[in-house]
């Protein structure tokens, strides 16, 4: 367990590349039918498989099993070239990888032009992988232009870049362009699960969706986050609370407590959650963002009933059951009104000197629909009436039926910052 996950799991053929079927499928089709272009451009965000795919393509092109009579889209894995170009292999003389980010543009392109005149040392093609191609200067590209325009038959180019617009048009137009994308959670979560299984690392329910969220769709970043959590787990299970804390996410339990307090109009509990948010070092704005995301999920549940399971596939089932109850308690219009309030609070919190104060004001507004005479608050009150709850709030929920009339808003005043 010494090398990073993203190195150990670097795909060696296209079947192992995840989330890029829109580029791998047509590319593999072309390879299977022996239609090989002389220049390719792989573009897309960081860490989604461009460099990896460029190496795979080079490996396929030079695989000894890949012949004119028997074209293939999968490297055999056992010929000398395949072995050299395998993960952790020494590399091949006939596949030249140039990282434009660490070389001076022009000189390298000149040198490259000279090298490109030689025939391959052993294999079918001389493949040049020009990585981070956006770093090549215009002069560099111009020096390359001639060979990319009229390449000798044994030369193949693969450009990889995050910024295809910076590759000059005269070169770009001679390539087959394959745009890679960020990988969506419904592909990444099962992939990580599989990876944890093969590493024999137990991971608590709900952790992988957090990891995927932190990785922002970049496979490399996602694997690095997972690596860090595994390293921190000391060989035991990767736990949910620890992961949430390390990644700076609001623990689901804080959100549960808050949403349930709002549903019950329990001001004291709601403000205790604020206290916990602050005392555990959470950023108020981040908390409101996470609350907004929770409300969004609850709205999905309220709107789609059982079909919500599919939409919220990443949510563990026990959590989903809890959220179903929350959605039912709050009701569709209260949920929508709360989401609006959170959204407005986020705007107000930007650059605010006291985000905590805004958080407390938000609590007060969430707890007191009756205080606002807007249409959404009327809708929320109506909703409550329809569900047999008192419309105006507070203690009402917990006041015995025979008791005195419900006092308005038993919400404690916001506490001054500690």
Interface residues with ligand ADP (CB under 6 A) are: 6, 9-11, 17-20, 46-52, 160, 183, 219-220, 223
Q: Cα–Cα distance between 388 and 373 in angstroms, integer?
A: 21
User: 224 vs 377, which CB is nearer to Mg ion?
Assistant: 224
Closest-approach residue to Mg ion (CB): 51
User: 85 vs 155, which CB is nearer to Zn ion?
Assistant: 85
46's contact among Zn ion, Mg ion, ligand ADP, none, with CB below 5 to 8 A by partner kind, is: ligand ADP
User: 48 vs 210, which CB is nearer to ligand ADP?
Assistant: 48
Minimum distance from residue 23 beta carbon to ligand ADP (Å) = 10
Do the bridges between strand 126-131 and strand 155-161 make them parallel or antiparallel, or are there none, so unpaired? parallel
Quickly list DSSP for 243-279. HHHHHTPPPHHHHHHHHHHHHTT-HHHHHHHHHHHHH
Q: Cα–Cα distance between 74 and 76 in angstroms, integer?
A: 6
76's contact among Mg ion, ligand ADP, Zn ion, none, with CB below 5 to 8 A by partner kind, is: Zn ion
User: 83 vs 300, which CB is nearer to Zn ion?
Assistant: 83
38's contact among ligand ADP, Mg ion, Zn ion, none, with CB below 5 to 8 A by partner kind, is: none
48's contact among Zn ion, ligand ADP, Mg ion, none, with CB below 5 to 8 A by partner kind, is: ligand ADP
Under 8 Å between Cβ of 200 and 63:
no
Minimum distance from residue 24 beta carbon to ligand ADP (Å) = 9
The interface with Mg ion within residues 4-63 (CB under 5 A) comprises 50-51
Contacts of residue 176, Cβ cutoff 8 Å, sequence gap at least 6:
30, 37, 39, 40, 41
Give the contact letters, 66-105, x = binds to Zn ion (CB under 5 A), - = no.
---------xx--x--x-----------------------
Minimum distance from residue 40 beta carbon to ligand ADP (Å) = 14
176-179 β-sheet, strand order: 95-99, 126-131, 155-161, 39-43, 176-179
User: 23 vs 277, which CB is nearer to ligand ADP?
Assistant: 23
Both tokens of residue 7?
């190195």
195's contact among Zn ion, ligand ADP, Mg ion, none, with CB below 5 to 8 A by partner kind, is: none
Task: Quote the DSSP letter at residue 156.
Answer: E
The kind and range of the H/E element at 377 are: helix 375-386
Q: Cα–Cα distance between 407 and 56 in angstroms, integer?
A: 70
User: 82 vs 335, which CB is nearer to Zn ion?
Assistant: 82
79's contact among ligand ADP, Mg ion, Zn ion, none, with CB below 5 to 8 A by partner kind, is: Zn ion
Minimum distance from residue 318 beta carbon to Zn ion (Å) = 48
Under 8 Å between Cβ of 304 and 327:
no
159's contact among Zn ion, ligand ADP, Mg ion, none, with CB below 5 to 8 A by partner kind, is: none
Overall size of the chain counted in residues: 418
Closest CA to 233 of 259, 263, 267, 199: 199
E strand segments, 165-204: 176-179
Instruction: Give Cα 245 distance to the centre of its chain.
Output: 18
User: Which of 27, 48, 61, 63 is in the footprint of Zn ion by CB under 5 A?
Assistant: 63
Q: Cα–Cα distance between 66 and 59 in angstroms, integer?
A: 10
User: 72 vs 137, which CB is nearer to Zn ion?
Assistant: 72
Residues that bind Mg ion (CB under 5 A): 50-51
């Amino acid at each position: 367990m010494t090398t990073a996950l993203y190195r150990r799991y670097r795909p060696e053929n296209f079947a192992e590349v995840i989330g890029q079927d829109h580029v791998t499928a047509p590319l593999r089709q072309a390879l299977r039918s022996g239609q090989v272009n002389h220049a390719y451009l792989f573009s897309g965000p960081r860490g989604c498989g461009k460099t990896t795919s460029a190496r795979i393509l080079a490996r396929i092109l030079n695989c000894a099993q890949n012949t004119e009579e028997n074209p293939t889209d999968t490297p055999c894995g056992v010929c000398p070239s395949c072995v050299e170009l395998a993960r952790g292999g020494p590399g091949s003389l006939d596949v030249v990888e140039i990282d434009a980010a660490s070389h001076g543009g022009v000189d390298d392109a000149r040198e490259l032009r000279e090298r490109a005149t030689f025939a391959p040392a052993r294999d079918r093609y001389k493949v040049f992988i020009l990585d981070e191609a956006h770093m090549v200067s215009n002069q560099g590209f111009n020096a390359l232009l001639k060979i990319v325009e009229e390449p000798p038959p044994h030369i193949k180019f693969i450009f990889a870049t995050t910024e295809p617009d910076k590759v000059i048009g005269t070169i770009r137009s001679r390539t087959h362009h394959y745009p890679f994308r960020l990988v969506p959670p419904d592909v990444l979560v099962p992939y990580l699960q599989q990876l944890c299984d093969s590493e024999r690392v137990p991971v608590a329910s709900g952790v992988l969706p957090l990891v995927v969220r932190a990785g922002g769709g970049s496979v490399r970043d996602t694997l690095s986050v997972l690596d860090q959590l595994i390293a921190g787990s000391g060989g035991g299970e990767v736990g949910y609370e620890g992961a949430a804390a390390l990644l700076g996410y609001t623990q689901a339990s804080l959100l549960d407590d808050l949403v349930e307090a709002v549903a019950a109009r329990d001001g004291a509990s709601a403000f205790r959650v604020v206290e916990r948010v602050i005392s555990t070092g959470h950023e108020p704005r981040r908390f409101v963002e996470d609350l907004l995301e929770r409300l969004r999920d609850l709205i999905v549940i309220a709107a789609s009933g059982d079909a919500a399971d599919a939409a919220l596939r990443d949510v563990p089932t026990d959590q989903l059951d809890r959220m179903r109850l929350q959605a039912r308690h709050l009701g569709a219009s209260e949920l929508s009104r709360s989401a609006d309030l959170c959204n407005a609070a986020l705007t107000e919190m930007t650059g605010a000197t006291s985000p905590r104060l805004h958080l407390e004001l938000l609590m007060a507004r969430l707890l007191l629909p009756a205080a606002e005479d807007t249409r959404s608050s009327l809708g929320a009150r109506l909703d409550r009436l329809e569900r047999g709850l008192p419309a105006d709030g507070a203690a009402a929920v917990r006041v015995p039926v025979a008791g005195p009339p419900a006092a308005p808003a038993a919400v404690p005043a916001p506490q001054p910052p500690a």
